Amino acid sequence: MRYYDLPSNPCRAAGSMGKKDADNMEIWTLDDFNKFITFVSKPAAHLALEILFWTGIRSGELLALTPADILPDKRIDICKSLARLDGKDFISEPKTAKSNRIIPIPDFLYDEIHNYINRVGGMEKTDKIFYFSKGFLNKEIKRLSAKAGVKEIRVHDLRHSHASLLIEMGYNILLISERLGHEKVETTLNTYGHLYPNKHKQLADDLQDLR
């Protein structure tokens, strides 16, 4: 409208993104995930699902990972993303500028990643760690969730599960936003703000303890 004299804003007509999905957000608790992951017998799928749950990275970021992205100081360099179009894979820059980030990972996950790479053998620094699609992971969740006795969720819901876990652990919203690679902290608040009500009561209790 400002630069091309458009009569109206098509983005306004389309409405906001995120809020509707946030209302329908499904998550696994840590207990749910621990029940589920014991049923995943395929090593590549097991590792991929572990990474998604314990880091909160996007599936495209996961599928673009190479051994070079697993840094010696136990961090993952999220510097690219994979998308599939007409059956072909394309590697591009992450979704936004803030999506280009380096995130610390726990020791056990770092060890699991390196153990898997070593077991595969012959993997070059620039080779993709995973060669399946997001659809494969969705099928694994669909296939095994009933056996594990947990509700079926989407691959993307593992990202929500990670954020919810961090909120439950008491980490502040800015840190969570940076870890998820959101461009603005408002995005994190709009998506996960409804998970915070119990934290307000906890805050009041903590102030009571201080007094």
Structure tokens at 51: 């990474």
**How does residue 16 score in pLDDT terms, banded at 50, 70 and 90?**
low
Residue 159 catalytic? yes
pLDDT for the residue 17: 62
Residue 156 catalytic? yes
Catalytic residue (one of 80, 159, 162, 179): 159
Catalytic residue (one of 46, 74, 95, 139): 95
Residue 154 catalytic? no
Q: Of the candidates 193, 198, 175, 204, which has an alpha carbon nearest to the alpha carbon of residue 56?
A: 175
The full set of domain ranges for the chain reads 27-210
Candidate CATH numbers 3.40.50.620, 3.40.50.720, 1.20.58.220, 1.10.443.10; the one for domain 27-210? 1.10.443.10
Residue 196 catalytic? no
Residues 104-108 have a mean pLDDT of 97
For residues 5 and 7, give the distance between their C-alpha atoms in angstroms, rounded to a whole number. Answer: 6
Instruction: Judge whether residue 19 has pLDDT over 60.
Output: no
**How does residue 13 score in pLDDT terms, banded at 50, 70 and 90?**
confident
For residues 24 and 150, give the distance between their C-alpha atoms in angstroms, rounded to a whole number. Answer: 17
Instruction: Judge whether residue 4 has pLDDT over 70.
Output: yes
